[in-house]
Amino acid sequence: MTLNPQPSTLNPPVSLITGAAGGLGRALVAEFARQGWRAVAACHRQPAQPETDTVWPLALDVTDRAQVMAAVARVSQRWGAIQVLVNNAGFTADRPIWQLSEADWDRVLAVNLKGAFLCSQAVLPAMMQQRDGHIINVASFSARQGARGQANYAAAKAGLIGLTQSLAKEVGACNVRVNAVLPGVLPTPMTASLGAKRLAELAQLNALGRLNSVAEVARFVVFLASCANVSGQLFQLDSRLAPWA
């Protein structure tokens, strides 16, 4: 039984990163590849990253069960079993709830929560059979404290934390780890519309007075992926403070 796959030039472990076209997704793919992993860069639109020996761009709608199952089968056939799944696909449609359409509610829940469920369900049979694997869910500080105009997003990310902890209990006996990270506000296309003034205000909510970076989050996620004895945990990666309960 392999308790903790370590990158090897002879048999690199395989990671699947969803939402790979975004700022954090690109950084995750690059960091996994840099540290000796094979990285499947799954994104909803046309893959934006070039294919290499260690990076495989793959078009994937995480809300479509058939596409998810087919993608996992293709990866397993080409590169072998997936050791790490990073559920990073995200989508926002920010509006006050009285202006929020049902379609925007459904889409945000589908991408952020249902997608993580479908992808996790697809990779788990092999992980449980080989008695090794790690699922890392990218959640949000909004799930802990809420945010104006983000009822749909906060609800989806709170559900993702619940999924993380429930799934960790379900698959722990098979040596499959499940954890979540709160990356913080990052300088990515998703936050570009906030503007410099709002980003500066958000930075001041941090004890360190600054925002996190995609590079630091990516390094932490790859480190967490190699941890053999950590599961069911929530890791906040910026310096905002929240109540204990």
Residues labelled as active-site residues: 153
Residue 1's pLDDT is what? Answer: 41
Q: Are 80 and 14 in contact (CB under 8 A)?
A: yes
Residue 193's pLDDT is what? Answer: 65
Identify the structural domains of the chain with CATH numbers, from first to last. Answer: 14-236 (3.40.50.720)
Higher pLDDT: 45 or 58? It is: 58
How far from the centroid of its chain's Cα atoms is residue 3's Cα?
22
Mean pLDDT across 130-136: 97
Residue keyed to tokens 């950084």: 27
Confidence band of 146 (pLDDT split at 50, 70, 90) = confident
Q: Among 196, 197, 237, 195, which Cα is nearest to 215's?
A: 237
How far from the centroid of its chain's Cα atoms is residue 155's Cα?
16
Task: Indicate the SS3 state at residue 120.
Answer: helix
pTM (2 d.p.)? 0.90
Q: What angle (nearest 5°) sits at the alpha carbon of residue 39, between those of residues 90 and 73?
A: 85
Q: What is the mean pLDDT of the chain?
A: 89
Residue 93's pLDDT is what? Answer: 87
Higher pLDDT: 18 or 3? It is: 18
Could you give the CA distance from residue 112 to residue 156 in angstroms, rounded to a whole number? 6
Q: In this model, does residue 210 exceed pLDDT 50? A: yes
Q: In this model, does residue 3 exceed pLDDT 50? A: no
